[in-house]
Amino acid sequence: MKMIDANKKKEAKQNFDKYLQDWLIKKEKNETARQMYLKNAELSLELAEESMNSALRPYLWVVVISYYSMFYIANAVLLQLGYKTGSKIVHKVTSDALVVLVMDKIRKGMLEEYEDVKEDALEIASIKSEEIIAFYSMEMDKRSRFQYNMTETIQEQKANTSLKRAREFMLEMKKLLPEFKRGESL
């Protein structure tokens, strides 16, 4: 499992600060855009699930659509926090913004959920929140390098992994939005 180490966190913070200076991300509330991102996230996840069960076996598109469901929900959460990404290097900006702005919120929410197991909660929540944010980066990378010459079995496995990560990412991101109660399923 690819985790987010201290260097990655530091780099993300430095990048985020530069993105703010360069207007690649800015402080902005936009409820219309947030709702559009949320709708696109849900539609993308639903389409990825339907595609996975399709006789056509469009595994490349399951990976791509799963990633985009994550991208859209991530941007809905960023807008909820008052940040709007620009149009340049938006995927990298989103990735770094998740590390800087969202990872600790997921950790905090998980700590609240794991209240009954207080001794292990900090470690579990820390690892899990990093894993959730790392999912985005892993799927972004996979989407850009997915090769057609992989065997169909490997493509199917990777597509299943993408869909599973997208579902989990979506679940955790929704917990940060006001219209979803903590613990509510998709």
Range in 1-5, 75-79, 127-131 with the lowest mean pLDDT: 1-5
Question: Is-above-0.75 flag for pTM?
Answer: yes
Residue 154 burial (CB count, 10 A): 12
Q: Can you tell me the distance from the alpha carbon of 89 to that of 7, in angstroms, rounded to the nearest whole number?
A: 21
Query: Averaged over 13-17, what is the pLDDT?
Result: 97
Beta-carbon contacts of residue 147 (< 8 Å; ≥ 6 apart)? none
Q: ∠ CA(25), CA(44), CA(68), 5° rounding?
A: 40
Check pLDDT > 90 for residue 65: yes
Say if CB 94 and CB 37 are below 8 A apart: no
Looking at residue 155, its pLDDT comes to 82
pLDDT tens for each residue of 128-183: 888 889 999 888 887 776 654 567 788 888 899 999 999 999 999 999 999 886 54
CA angle 159-160-164, nearest 5°? Answer: 120
pLDDT the model gives residue 35: 97
Q: What share of the chain has pLDDT > 90, as a percent?
A: 62
pLDDT(185) > 50: no
For residue 172, how many C-alpha atoms fall within 13 Å in the half-sphere facing its CB? Answer: 29
